[in-house]
């Protein structure tokens, strides 16, 4: 009886831990994406040929949405 209770508790804790890890991963991913997009945008703006391509791509995406 004690063994089953312990195993049930461990399974419950492992499920809670997995859900917590998923939430943390998603939040961290969004945070990193914001930071990298900022630096990537600066890098694109420093290159004239890329800046021109980026403005065309942005214009097309704005039209589609």
Query: Which residue range(s) make up the domain with 19?
Result: 2-64
Per-residue pLDDT of the chain (65 residues; tens, 9 = 90+): 677 888 899 999 999 999 999 999 999 888 888 888 888 888 777 877 766 766 666 555 555 54
The CA-based angle 47-64-37, given to 5 degrees, is: 35
* Cα within 13 Å of Cα(59), Cβ side: 6
The CA-based angle 15-17-23, given to 5 degrees, is: 105
| pTM of the model as a whole | 0.50
Split into its structural domains, the chain has a count of 1
């Amino acid at each position: 009886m004690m063994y089953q209770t312990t195993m049930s508790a461990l399974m419950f804790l492992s499920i809670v831990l997995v859900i917590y890890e998923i939430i943390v991963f998603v939040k961290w991913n969004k945070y990193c994406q914001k930071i990298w997009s900022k630096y990537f945008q600066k890098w694109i703006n420093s290159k004239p040929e890329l800046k021109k391509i980026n403005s065309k791509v942005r214009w097309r995406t704005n039209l589609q949405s």
